[in-house]
Structures are given as C-alpha cells and as structure tokens.
Structure 1
Amino acid sequence: MQSKKNIDIVIPSYRLEEKYIIPLIDLPKPEGWSFNYFIVVDNPAVKISPQIESYAATGLVTLLINPYNLGASLSRNRGMEAGTGQWVLFLDDDIRAENELLFHYVNAIERYPEEIGFIGLVKLPPPPTAFAKALLMNGSMMIFGIAEKTPSFSWGATANMMVKRSAVGDIRFSEKYPKFGGGEDVDFFLSVRDKNQCGDYRTLKEAVVCHPWWKEGKPDFVRHFRYGEGNSYLAAFNPQYAYYDFPNTPETLFLMVVVLPVAAIASSSGLVVWITVFGWVVVAEAIATWIQLAKRHASVTVPILYYVLRLKFAYSTGMLMANLRRGRLKGIGERFEFKGQHHRNGFFQFNTYKIVKWVLYIFVLLLLGYLCLR
C-alpha cells in the first residue's frame, strides 16, 4: 500500500528562473514524508539552467516540457496527473517560500486529515508605487491575504494552496477559460468544494510565501482587463453563484451608446442631454469610488484614486467585452459571488458606493428634466 505521507508539488512555469525555482526545490522537508516536484515548463523555447537539469537527471524533480504554450490551467492539470501523491501543493514560479512552509503543511495534514485542502498566505512587499497602493485599496489582492482574515474560505490563490487528491477526484482546471485570463482557479477550487458538501478550505496563515510586485509596481491595466475577461465566464459556468446587480460604469456607458442614436433622432436637445449624462456617469463613478475608499482608508491621494478608477474600468470593460464577443447580452449586470454563497434571492446588492452613485444619477436626471421643462 502506498504511503499516505506523500505530497506532489506542482509548479507551472513560463520563465523557469533559477533564482525562484531552486530555493523551492531546496526547501527543508519533514522526515518521513515524500515530496515529488512536477515543474511544468510552459515555454518549450526556454533555456533550462544546468542546476535544474541536474536535479531532473537525478530524479529530484520531474520536468514536463509542454510542446507549446498551453496556459496555466492545462499546465497544472498535467502536473497533477503526472503524480499520485495524496496531497497536491500548488506554487507559483515567482514566489519565495519561508523555510518552514512544508513543515506547516505537513503539520496541518496530520492535525486535520479530514480537510479537503489548505489555503496558505501570500505576502506582498510594502507597495513601492501609487499604482501598487491602488491595487491593495481596490481589493484586487484580497485573496492573497485571506489566510490572515478568516479561518476558512471557499477558494484560494494557486500561488500557495494545497488540495487533497481524493477530494479533487476527476475535477480539473477548465480549458474553457481564456489561456491568459482569470477565473479558472476560482472555478476549480469551488468545484472541488461543491463536490465535498461545500466544505470550505482551512486557512494556514503560518504557511507563508512572498510574492513580488508585478513589474515592480509599475502601472499595468492589461492584467486586470484579462482578469475581467476570464471572470466573465464564472457566472455562466457556475449559475448557482450568479446574481444580477446594477450595471457597472462601462455597462452603463455601453447601454447609453446603444440608445444614443434614438436621442439624436428625437431632438438636438435630447442629444445634448444624453452627452451630459454620459459625462456625469463618469464623474459619479469617481465621486462614489472616492467616498468608498475614504471610508476604508485613512487617506486617498489623487494618483491612487486615478489608478483605482482605471483598474475598475479595465476589469469591468474586460468583463463586458468578453460577454459581448460571446453574444451574451444576459451577461450585462450579471455578477459572480466570489465568497461561494448561493444567491437564491440575491439581486441588486446595495452598499455605500452604489447608493452614492445612483443618488448622483437620479439627481442629474431630475436637474436636466427640470431645465428642459423650463
């Protein structure tokens, strides 16, 4: 009978940078446990360093080189299927793990063997730029630190998360999501959770890895656009977690563009009113976002507000464009419950941000109506 003290470590990698990969392979390991590394190289043109090659030659790691760029989903699937360990630890290829990482996971397995998995903590360095601060204030990095916020959660980041193979069964990361998008990790972990009576994953704040800032914190909105594209699939593929909410700003602007020709044909004043409202929608978004951020944080500078607004626009526009490309008009206003809660009657959720924004919408419409009737 195979030992139950067996852990597969799956690391998909496009860059295969030695400065990150070697320390992960060399992590201190608890006695009596077997660790099998499956490094899935998702770039056949990458140059493999001599040390990594020597590790592969001695069987310390298994290198799986994809014939072409398959993306993170298929790469993780390939790594999982190459092993037989009772537990699978997912790590990213650009993280630095604390020395005790594997000891904390082993300790968790021994203490809580009935769990379907564990969510580790992903730490980011102090934000070096206003853009990096905006990422934190926007909540974009929430899942990285979820292990410090709650004892359990419905999914985690593949940068540092472990699952039980028997709980996973035949579930795999879906190929239906965009190769460079997002959402496939949420889909996978929620599917495993649903298969196991919706039992959340236990968080392990002591199992720590450190993740660098992408591009050293320099502005990058393409990543958030891609996340929006990928996450537009979540509600479609997981309707039990879908609900409808008020249109976000890009959706509102799109709907206004659709009816703009009607306003232009109706009258010249109608066109002026519509253009005024169009601009006010953007202003209302800025005001509502600033109030929301001010409630949560001590100070919000103009650059941070600017970056938060652009991040929100990038993400929401990515969602909208992906839905339109697929002809999913029903995707407009459709949202996904990332906490894994079923929304049987969860339509049109209110918070301060939405209340402020819609009060501003109504105010300008009433004002314009009054001016037009004078």
Structure 2
Amino acid sequence: MPDITHSIDIVIPSYRLEKDYILRIIRLSKPEKWVFKYYIVVDNPNVIVDEEIARLAASGDITLLINPVNLGASTSRNKGLEAGSGEWILFLDDDIKADERLLHNYVHAITKWPDEIGFIGLVKLPPPPTAFARALIINGSMMIFGIAEEAESFAWGATANTMVKREAVGAIRFSTDYPKSGGGEDVDFFLNVRDSNGGKDYKTLKEAVVYHPWWNEGRPSFKRSFRYGVGNSYLGQFLPKYTYYDFPNTPEALFLMLLAFPIVIFIAPVYLGSWGQLFIGFGLVEVIATLFQAAKRKAPLSAAVAYYVVRLKLAYETGLLWGNIARFRFAGIGARFEYKGRKHGNGFFQFNTYKIVKWVLYALFIYGVFL
C-alpha cells in the first residue's frame, strides 16, 4: 500500500441528494498517494437516500450527515468542514458535473503552489438556452463562476468549486447570521479566511473545471436575485471595512420618496402632481440607464433580454433594500459592498457610465418637472 502523503476533504451540502450527480462526484478519478474523504450533508430530514449512496455510507466510503431539520447552507457546510480533518477542503455543489481530471488538477496545484491559502476553480455554464439566461450573463450575476478565466487571483470564490487550506481556515466558519436560504455567507467566509492570512487572494485555477446546469432550465425567476440581494445586505454590516456609500439606487430612491410623501402633503401640496411624475420618471430613468450600460458592454440585446436585464437588476436592488429595512437597518440604505475585497478610497461614491447617465437624466427630469 503506497504511503499516504496528503488528504483532501470534499464537502457537499445537498437538499435533493440526486444520485446521478452525487455518484459521479464520488467516482471521480483520484491521484495516488492522496486520501479523499467525502462529507455529504443533507439539509432535508425527509430525503429518500438512494440504495447505492446508503451502501457507500454504511461501508465508510463516504460520510453521510442528514440534518434533523432544515438548517441552511452555512450550518451544513460547517458540519461537513468540522467532520473532517483533511489538510485541504474542497467545496462543491450537489448539482454539478465535474471534469474527470478535477481532483488531479487540484492536487497538481497544491504540489506546485503549496503556500497558497486556496484555489478558485472554474464553473462552466452551458450556452444560455433562453433570453432570461442571456440576461443573467449580461447583468453580471454569473461573474464569479468564470472568474478563474478572467483573473490570476481573486478575493473569494463560488462554493460550487473552491478549495481552501484547513490551516488557513482555522476557527473561521460560515456565518449563520445570514439568511438560511443563502446569499452573502460565501463571500463573508472566504474574505474572512483571506483577511486572517494577510489579505492574500486565492489563486484561480481554470484547469479545475466543473459544469453547472442552468437553474430551472433557464426559465424566468427573480426569486434568486431578490434572495441574493437580501443576503448581501448583511455584507456591509458584518464586513464594514469593504463598505462605501453611494447614490441611492432606484428602489432606495423610490422608498425615500414614499417616506417624504407625507411631508409634501402638509408642506407643499401643490407639488403632489409633480411628485407622482417624479415617481414614474425615476423608474423610466432606471430602464434607460441600465440599457445604456448594457449597450456600452456591446451585449446583444433583444427586447426580451433587455426586459430581463432591467427586471433582474431591480429584483436584486429591491432585495438589498428589503434586507435592510426589514431589520430596521436604515443606515444600510445607500451602502454598497466592494466585492473585490478592496477598501474604497474615501468611503463614498464610485462613478461609472451607468451612474453618470442615470444622474444626468435624473437632473434633467427634475428640472423638466419643477421648472
């Protein structure tokens, strides 16, 4: 029997425990002289365990942990992380198909760059099958999936395919202060690990590939964008050093206008009609500015794609607003999180084409309404 030199824990939180996905991951080709242990944490007490998965668990080939109640993604990943003791921890999603050489490529990277705190693998999506899926690509929602092809290193990675060194993780865990449904907790975890190791980014590894399907076959759904907005509203609160303040986005601006409405009624009722025009106009400005930004990126925009691009942006920003006001964190209105993990210079404002166009249009619209 060959000498054991290194070990990797593979942590997979799952709700569905679909055998076609899980068994493929378990059967991946493995380099010699390395130990791989699987920790599959099922966040569904009513799950029906496939016979083959049950046999693997009974024989000790995998560790299968079934939560007594739905505990959420953070707690499930923490349970898998704490159950093992491997030198490295590979986080995978339960609905990916991994390249057959995935583990070989990670082992090669560890051998070549042993001092890295972790590696961000590549998550590939199929070509977008619908206008909604194309809109998800255009609006940047899937950016982190492909970051391994865009940068040599980055501040955090998708838990669908990212590896970290256990020594670098230490006592850090996925925070359970974020919503159970997910959103923000992965960014929080990887940034905290990075910051506890001198701020060193994770090395990207485009050779370590997994393939992720489109959710719901690319059919329109805005719940995920809204949910991510709610979850990400916590990032500025828990990681304030990466937070800055910006002009209100459209849902925030409309919310502030609603708050000011009673004041207008009592102090300047003559402007009520104009106030209503502004309310409608701000929404139109958002549409124009968002499409201008997409066009600047030379994104192919059909009418359907343009519609979904705007809806997705508003869904995310509405979730961000709701996440703050639902817990009475009004200081979070206008707060933005710097997702590259860099401290913003003066703590205020970042300009880009979208914002310039938007606020010029705002100014023109206000001028036209009141003057």
Match of 1:227 in 2: 228
> What are the equivalent positions in structure 2 for 1:155-234 lying under 5 Å apart?
155-234=156-235
Measured against aligned partners, the alpha-carbon deviations of 1:265-320 in whole angstroms (never above 9, x if no partner) come to 34453011011011110110011011100011242111111111111111111111
The letter for the 2-side match of 1:323 is: N
Match of 1:65 in 2: 66
Q: In 2, are the aligned partners of 1:181 and 1:229 still within 8 Å (CA)?
A: no
List gaps (5 residues or longer) in structure 2. Answer: none
Match of 1:20 in 2: 21
Q: Secondary structure at the match of 2:81?
A: helix
1:241 and 1:322 map into 2 onto residues whose CA distance is 18
> What are the equivalent positions in structure 2 for 1:355-366 lying under 5 Å apart?
355-366=356-367
Q: In 1, are the aligned partners of 2:138 and 2:299 still within 8 Å (CA)?
A: no
Match of 1:243 in 2: 244
2:365 and 2:119 map into 1 onto residues whose CA distance is 49
Q: In 2, are the aligned partners of 1:12 and 1:39 still within 8 Å (CA)?
A: yes
Residue 215 of structure 1 deviates from its aligned partner by: 0.3
Match of 1:132 in 2: 133
Q: In 1, are the aligned partners of 2:72 and 2:182 still within 8 Å (CA)?
A: no
Q: In 2, are the aligned partners of 1:121 and 1:148 still within 8 Å (CA)?
A: yes
Match of 2:90 in 1: 89
Residue 116 of structure 1 deviates from its aligned partner by: 0.1
Match of 1:341 in 2: 342
The letter for the 1-side match of 2:320 is: M
> What are the equivalent positions in structure 2 for 1:290-309 lying under 5 Å apart?
290-309=291-310
Which range is displaced more, 163-172 or 313-322? Answer: 313-322
Residue 369 of structure 1 deviates from its aligned partner by: 2.4
1:13 and 1:216 map into 2 onto residues whose CA distance is 19
Measured against aligned partners, the alpha-carbon deviations of 1:57-101 in whole angstroms (never above 9, x if no partner) come to 221101011111111100000001000000000000000000000
Q: Secondary structure at the match of 2:115?
A: coil
What number of residue pairs does the alignment pair up?
A: 369
1:17 and 1:48 map into 2 onto residues whose CA distance is 9
2:335 and 2:299 map into 1 onto residues whose CA distance is 32
1:335 and 1:298 map into 2 onto residues whose CA distance is 25
Q: In 2, are the aligned partners of 1:241 and 1:336 still within 8 Å (CA)?
A: yes
The letter for the 2-side match of 1:34 is: V
Which range is displaced more, 269-278 or 85-94? Answer: 269-278
TM superposition score normalised by structure 2: 0.98
Q: In 1, are the aligned partners of 2:274 and 2:370 still within 8 Å (CA)?
A: no
Q: In 1, are the aligned partners of 2:291 and 2:310 still within 8 Å (CA)?
A: no
2:100 and 2:270 map into 1 onto residues whose CA distance is 68
Which range is displaced more, 58-67 or 164-173? Answer: 58-67
Q: Secondary structure at the match of 1:287?
A: helix
Match of 1:148 in 2: 149
Match of 1:350 in 2: 351
The letter for the 1-side match of 2:52 is: Q
Residue 3 of structure 1 deviates from its aligned partner by: 5.2
The letter for the 1-side match of 2:303 is: V
C-alpha distance 172-4 of structure 1, shift in aligned 2 (>3 A):
farther
The letter for the 1-side match of 2:48 is: K
Q: In 2, are the aligned partners of 1:121 and 1:205 still within 8 Å (CA)?
A: yes
The letter for the 1-side match of 2:252 is: E
Q: In 2, are the aligned partners of 1:94 and 1:211 still within 8 Å (CA)?
A: yes
Measured against aligned partners, the alpha-carbon deviations of 1:124-179 in whole angstroms (never above 9, x if no partner) come to 00000000000000000000000000000000000000000000000000010000
List gaps (5 residues or longer) in structure 1. Answer: none
Residue 4 of structure 1 deviates from its aligned partner by: 4.7
Residue 326 of structure 1 deviates from its aligned partner by: 1.2
Q: Secondary structure at the match of 1:309?
A: helix
Residue 344 of structure 1 deviates from its aligned partner by: 4.0
Q: Secondary structure at the match of 1:315?
A: helix
Aligned: 1:34 with 2:27: no
The letter for the 2-side match of 1:361 is: Y
Q: Secondary structure at the match of 1:85?
A: coil
Match of 2:289 in 1: 288
Residue 260 of structure 1 deviates from its aligned partner by: 1.4
2:324 and 2:77 map into 1 onto residues whose CA distance is 26
1:260 and 1:161 map into 2 onto residues whose CA distance is 48
1:226 and 1:77 map into 2 onto residues whose CA distance is 21
Q: In 2, are the aligned partners of 1:4 and 1:86 still within 8 Å (CA)?
A: no
Q: In 1, are the aligned partners of 2:17 and 2:47 still within 8 Å (CA)?
A: yes
1:240 and 1:24 map into 2 onto residues whose CA distance is 38
Residue 221 of structure 1 deviates from its aligned partner by: 0.6
Aligned: 1:107 with 2:103: no
Residue 346 of structure 1 deviates from its aligned partner by: 3.7
TM superposition score normalised by structure 1: 0.97
The letter for the 2-side match of 1:176 is: D
